[in-house]
Amino acid sequence: HSEEEVRGNLLITVLRTWKGMDKHGGIKAWYAEAFRKAKRSIYIENQFPFQNNFITKILVRRLAENPKLKVCIVGPMKPNLPGLIGSIMAKMSINDIHRNLKVLCSAGRGNVKTFSLITQDRWISEKRRQIYVHSKIAIIDDRWITVGSANLDKNGMSDSSEVNIGIVSSTLAKKLRIRLWQEHLDIAYSSELEDFESGLE
């Protein structure tokens, strides 16, 4: 389900996953439509990136249709779920994620890049630890944004109750992506960041 509101030059859509109630496809439909329309770039931050097979297949198809499409995916090095049952589910999810990311990288022919975040002591390189990516953000063509509670897994797309917002704004989308990259790379917007961007173009 979605509800749209225009505020200034922003189009804001409330999206949800609600099993049995999503007559219009909700969050999954938003991702599918955005991927089908993607022309230049897709930037994803997600706790369970592409564990969902349906969404993976949509993007694989789009990569075949548009060989110039660049995809940047940021996720945790090792997603986790708590508890005994959770650990079994997590193992299955991790296997799905690894398999689907491998499929996407192959389909992208060098245009799909995956990243994780680590922190380390500036003086002792051995002191490294994972920065656990828990965000659920997508920025498509520096125009479409979605952010909220839905992971790119089976629960986020169909089984759980989730809420995202979808935003259409070229100005806000690029500003958000640049701000995230500045934070992750610990650099100001400069020739150094422009060089990193050009490497993905």
How many CB atoms are located within 10 Å of the residue 195 CB?
9
Residue-level pLDDT at 193: 55
Give the model confidence (pLDDT) of 65-122 as tens digits: 999 999 999 999 877 765 545 566 667 778 899 999 999 999 999 999 999 998 866 6
Q: How far apart are CA 60 and CA 85, in angstroms?
A: 31
Q: How far is Cα of residue 17 from the mean position of the Cα atoms in its chain? A: 17
Whether pTM > 0.75 for this model: the answer is: yes
pLDDT exceeds 60 at position 191? no
Give the model confidence (pLDDT) of 13-26 as tens digits: 889 888 766 666 78
Task: For residue 195, give Cα distances in angstroms to 42, 45, 187, 198, 201.
Answer: 18, 21, 12, 5, 10
**Residue pair 99/92 in contact by the 8 Å Cβ criterion:** no
Residue-level pLDDT at 197: 60
**Residue pair 112/17 in contact by the 8 Å Cβ criterion:** no
Residue-level pLDDT at 117: 92
Q: Which helix (H) or strand (E) holds 103?
A: helix 84-108
Give the model confidence (pLDDT) of 106-163 as tens digits: 999 999 999 999 886 666 666 678 889 999 999 999 999 999 999 999 888 988 889 9
In the 8-state DSSP scheme, what is residue 158?
A: I
